[in-house]
């Protein structure tokens, strides 16, 4: 772009309207173009002699990655190009605000921290499913859309696992933002989606306590401290913080990625269902622990494979499986569903199992679940569901139980699956009957409308009997 940018300049059909932001690596302008009615932003990196080369390479990464992303959790890509050898990128201008101002407002209530954390975790999961790790999650890079969804911005330090990582070999310093960078990024490992979970854990820590867990390190040695030294437990700073929230935050901040949640969707799940969080020593810790043991074993594990592609876990290997249990079904069908789930989870070390039963109510408002009888029925179903699960629940931190009252069971199952980013639904199909043919079955609606894989289970023999 010739000379300085100014309002009114036209670049490839985009008219510069007003400067939006001037960061360390790029300028952001609002732009207009005749074919677009929604507000747009143009990003132009500083590519002059002597500019930080990470700005240039980071911009190349963003040019590669942004056009390949879709969904509400990222800005919509519009165009990219270059003028006189200088590149630019045009994208949707997010209607909303970043989380940055919130960080200065002091400690937030646990429920609010969890709700916000779940939104960001859902956005991270959507990104990870598209084979991209953000690597620079921090409040200023998370926007909240006016619709409520979290939208991640700035992919300058990101990596697409199917594309060249232009940043990994060229730069010898850790890439990230001091307060938020994960230990493995400090050690220049750039292959694990769980690094983003660590950064989110830092954000949740700040939101809950008003303090940064690792301060604001300025030097490499200060940055490395987080590898050796645990943060002060949040409850030591703010006793109002619920044990479940400390459990979740400290799990995100584990030095070894393998100790964190296997996927961002599982983290989101935990934040959405705090009452089912299994509290470990983390929840009750009031002083920093000793990290050396965990750290040493982790270092050994990453050393095993020559520094790259080690224990990284992709969302595909950490599924959330939802099993729908109709407690009144025939014993043979309940057993068949149980058998199917047993087979399914046998090889899934990182899965999370959600057991769901829907209690059908006639219509909203008529059956109150708040009265004593309603609560009794609810608890009774919960007990029955846990009894059905039996030894499926042996890894307690991987199984949750949900009793939902709904007038439309199929819709309830589909909503639950969508909201919790479920990867696979297991559901039993009752044998054919005149009533079911007339009303339509829950399982067939789930198959037709669920946003994920659905496995329909039949009791052995039933299909042939009724075929």
Partner 1 sequence: MRIAVFSDIHANRQAFEASFAQAAAARPDRIVILGDIVGYGGDPDWAVERVAGLAAQGAVVVKGNHDAAIATPSTAMNDAASAALDWTRQQLSPAQAGFLSTLPMSAIIEDLEFVHASPASPASWPYITQNRDAERALAATKSRVTLCGHVHRPTLYHARSGGRVEHFVPISGVAVPLLAQRRWIGVLGSVGQPRDGVPAAAYALLDTSANTLTILRAPYDVAGAQAAIRAAGLPESLAARLARGA
Return residues touching partner 1 (CB under 8 A).
53, 56-57, 60, 63-64, 82, 85, 87, 162-166, 168-170
**Shortest Å distance, C-beta 131 to partner 1:** 9
Nearer to partner 1, 14 or 59 (CB): 59
Nearer to partner 1, 58 or 234 (CB): 58
CA distance 325 to 344: 16
- The structure tokens listed for 132 are 């991209």
**Shortest Å distance, C-beta 165 to partner 1:** 7
Nearer to partner 1, 72 or 81 (CB): 81
**Shortest Å distance, C-beta 191 to partner 1:** 13
For tokens 């690792």, name the residue: 214
**Shortest Å distance, C-beta 13 to partner 1:** 18
Q: In what order do the strands lie in the sheet with 150-152?
A: 96-98, 142-145, 150-152
Nearer to partner 1, 45 or 243 (CB): 45
Cβ-based neighbour number of residue 156 at 10 Å: 27
Q: What is the number of residues in the chain?
A: 467
Nearer to partner 1, 48 or 343 (CB): 48
Select from 400, 325, 390, 401 the least CA-distant residue to 358: 325
Nearer to partner 1, 104 or 169 (CB): 169
Q: Check residue 375 and give left, alpha or beta (phi > 0: left; psi -120 to 50: alpha).
A: alpha
Contacts of 82 (CB under 8 A, 6+ apart): 88
**Shortest Å distance, C-beta 63 to partner 1:** 7
**179-185 CB contacts, 8 Å cutoff, 24+ apart:** 179/138, 179/212, 179/214, 179/215, 179/216, 179/217, 180/136, 180/137, 180/138, 181/223, 181/226, 182/257, 183/226, 183/227, 183/255, 184/257, 184/302, 185/135
Nearer to partner 1, 62 or 247 (CB): 62
**Shortest Å distance, C-beta 213 to partner 1:** 34
Q: What is the dihedral of CA 264, 270, 272, 276, to 10 degrees?
A: 170
**Shortest Å distance, C-beta 66 to partner 1:** 11
Nearer to partner 1, 168 or 369 (CB): 168
Asked if residues 285 and 232 have their Cβ atoms less than 8 Å apart, the reply is: no
Nearer to partner 1, 64 or 299 (CB): 64
**Shortest Å distance, C-beta 467 to partner 1:** 37
Let me know if 401 is exposed, middle or buried by CB neighbors in 10 A (0-12, 13-18, 19+).
buried
**Shortest Å distance, C-beta 64 to partner 1:** 5
Exposure string of 419-432, with b = 16+ CB inside 10 Å and e = fewer, is ebbbbbbbbbbbbe
- The structure tokens listed for 394 are 């042996």
């Amino acid at each position: 772009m010739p000379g300085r940018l100014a309002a009114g300049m036209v670049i490839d059909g985009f008219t510069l309207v007003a400067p939006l932001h001037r960061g360390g690596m790029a300028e952001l302008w609002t732009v207009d173009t005749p074919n677009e009615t929604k507000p747009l932003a143009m990003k132009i990196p500083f590519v002059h002699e002597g500019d930080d080369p990470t700005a240039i390479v980071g911009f190349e990464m963003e040019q590669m990655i942004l056009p390949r992303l879709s969904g509400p959790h990222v800005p919509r890509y519009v165009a990219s190009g270059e003028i006189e050898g200088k590149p630019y990128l045009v994208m949707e201008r997010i209607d909303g605000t970043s989380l940055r101002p919130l960080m200065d407002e002091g400690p937030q209530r646990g429920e609010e921290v969890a709700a916000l954390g779940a939104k960001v975790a859902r956005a991270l999961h959507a990104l990870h499913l598209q084979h991209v790790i953000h690597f620079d999650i921090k409040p200023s890079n998370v926007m909240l859309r006016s619709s409520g969804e979290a939208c991640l911005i700035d992919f300058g330090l990101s990596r697409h696992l199917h594309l060249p990582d232009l940043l990994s070999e060229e730069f010898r310093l850790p890439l990230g933002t001091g307060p938020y960078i994960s230990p493995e990024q400090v050690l220049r490992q750039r292959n694990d989606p769980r690094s983003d979970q660590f950064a989110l854990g830092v954000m949740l820590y700040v939101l809950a306590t008003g303090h940064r867990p690792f301060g604001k390190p300025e030097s490499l040695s200060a940055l490395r401290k987080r590898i050796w030294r645990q943060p002060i437990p949040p409850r030591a700073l703010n006793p109002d913080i619920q044990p479940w929230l400390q459990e979740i935050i400290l799990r995100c901040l584990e030095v070894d990625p393998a100790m964190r949640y296997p996927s961002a969707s599982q983290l989101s799940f935990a934040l959405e269902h705090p009452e089912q969080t299994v509290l470990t020593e983390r929840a009750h810790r009031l002083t920093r622990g000793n990290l050396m043991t965990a750290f040493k074993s982790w270092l050994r594990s990453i050393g095993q494979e020559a520094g790259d592609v080690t224990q990284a876990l992709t969302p595909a290997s950490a599924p959330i499986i939802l099993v729908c249990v109709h407690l009144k079904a025939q014993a043979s069908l309940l057993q068949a569903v149980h058998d199917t789930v047993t087979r399914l989870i046998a090889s899934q070390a990182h899965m999370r199992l959600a057991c769901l039963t829907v209690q059908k109510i006639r219509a909203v408002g008529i059956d109150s679940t708040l009265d004593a009888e309603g609560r009794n029925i609810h608890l009774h179903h919960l007990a029955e569901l846990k009894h059905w699960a039996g030894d499926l629940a042996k890894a307690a931190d991987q199984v949750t139980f949900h009793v939902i009252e709904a007038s439309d069971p199929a819709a309830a199952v589909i909503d639950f699956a969508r909201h919790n980013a479920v990867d696979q639904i297991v559901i039993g199909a009752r044998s054919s009957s005149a009533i079911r043919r007339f009303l339509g079955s829950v399982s067939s609606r789930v198959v037709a409308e669920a946003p994920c894989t659905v496995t329909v289970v039949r009791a052995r023999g039933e299909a042939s009997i009724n075929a």
